[in-house]
Structure formats: C-alpha cells, structure tokens
Amino acid sequence: MRSRAILVGGLLVGAVGIAILWAAGVDFPVAIPPGLVILLTGAAVVAGVRRRWSDGVGALLGLFVIVGFVLSGINADGFDNLLGENGAAVAIGQVVQLVGVVTAAVSGALLAFRGD
C-alpha cells in the first residue's frame, strides 16, 4: 500500500514539475503540456486500479518522461533547463519533474516485479 502511494506521489510530483516549467514560460507543443495530462492520468489509474499491470504503467510513464528529457537534452534545451541556463524557475521545475518521474519509474518497477 505504502509503495503504491510512493508511485502515485512520484507521478504527481513529476506533473507538478511540468506545471512549474509551463508557468515559467517553457514552450510546449500544444496549449496544455501533454506530459502533465499523461502523468495526472497515470496517477489516477495507479491509484484507482490496484493491479500489477497498473504499477507497470506507472513505471513506464516515469521512464517515458525520463527518455523524453534525455532526448530533449540532446536535441533542445533539456540539459540547459536543468543547469539553470533558462532561469531559476525553469531549473527548479526540471529538478522537481525529474525527481518525481525517477521515483515513479523505480517504485513502479519494484512494485510490478515484486508486488506489494
């Protein structure tokens, strides 16, 4: 039970990080950042569906955002955001997002494989 709460919390913290990035003026491809909607929906699914597959979904969503960050770091401003080159608010949002999604990816993988 507590492990699932950590997973849900990680997804929510990742969503808060994206909201901070959005509020700080980071451009997203559409009006509402897709990652925000994806992580919030994932948190609702994990919280509402108590099955191993939902834990795996939470882990995959965390991994999805991590991969997106790495790709944006290679091709755009992801690493610059993290290093504060685009402002302190952007750096804070990026750190919050990464802490959340790494927590979700790890805790979700542990839950999916170990069960709890």
**In total, how many domains does the chain have?**
1
Q: Which tens digit of pLDDT belongs to each residue from 57-75?
A: 999 999 999 999 999 888 8
Q: Residue 24's closest CA among 98, 89, 94, 96? A: 89
Q: Which tens digit of pLDDT belongs to each residue from 30-40?
A: 889 999 999 99
Residue type, 106: V
Half-sphere exposure of 66 (CA within 13 A, CB side): 17
- Is this prediction's pTM over 0.85? yes
Q: What is the mean pLDDT of the chain?
A: 92
Return d(Cα 59, Cα 57) in angstroms, integer.
5
Identify the domain containing residue 19 by its residue range: 2-114
